Chains A and B, each alone.
Chain A
Amino acid sequence: DAGVIQSPRHEVTEMGQEVTLRCKPISGHNSLFWYRQTMMRGLELLIYFNNNVPIDDSGMPEDRFSAKMPNASFSTLKIQPSEPRDSAVYFCASSLVGGDSPLHFGNGTRLTVT
């Protein structure tokens, strides 16, 4: 049974470049979450989708960050332009019912912006 699939696993880019992270949630799950993990701040929720609709994007750091979910099986998180302080591990997670159900995480994308 495939879990949450994220790509790429690692991304190294230069400051100012556009970065796109991808996520395929578990089939049948109707909620999708993007998290960012850093040593200093731990796991932070960036945005939450329910039935492909963004419900809570209050965690998105600034306008450089955007996320889309064009269908139930795909989501992207885009950073444009990227900055060194965006370096972190970005996790996508999905769940079946809603925000109060246990999340299933992907293996993350480790982003390094130089």
Chain B
Amino acid sequence: GQQLNQSPQSMFIQEGEDVSMNCTSSSIFNTWLWYKQDPGEGPVLLIALYKAGELTSNGRLTAQFGITRKDSFLNISASIPSDVGIYFCAGVSPAGGTSYGKLTFGQGTILTVHP
């Protein structure tokens, strides 16, 4: 099946630094999503991207849908301690012969921010 390669697996940064993470796939996706998961909670949607080349911001977060439809990145500017958590990318494959496009998750990037 489809797989998403998310990198890096973990990051240790100082408060105020910028962060960048990305996901790549060997297959194309119709939609890219970025989620954040805090300990003991479910993933929460940060940004949704629906069009190749799309660049979307949500506060200090910026994400882009790669022009090839096989990759996406998420940037966090001026990190703060509450940015700590696990960040997941997710891609929705074209529906094709099925009734829906299946959502595939990356393995996650664990972000630690030192004050």
Contacts and interface: CB of A to CB of B under 8 A. Distances in A.
B101 interface: yes
Interface of A: 4, 31, 33, 42-43, 45, 48, 50, 55-56, 91, 93, 98-100, 102-108
Contact of A100 (B30, B41, B43): B30
A107 B30 CA distance: 27
Interface stretch (B16-24, B51-59, B66-74, B91-99): B91-99
A56 B40 CA distance: 27
Contact of B42 (A42, A99, A107): A107
Interface of B: 30-31, 33, 35, 40-45, 48, 88, 92, 95, 98-103, 105-108
Contact of B103 (A50, A55, A103): A103
Contact of B31 (A4, A91, A100): A100
B101 A42 contact: no
15 contacts: A31-B100, A42-B105, A42-B106, A42-B107, A45-B103, A50-B100, A55-B99, A91-B42, A99-B99, A99-B103, A103-B45, A105-B42, A105-B44, A106-B42, A107-B41
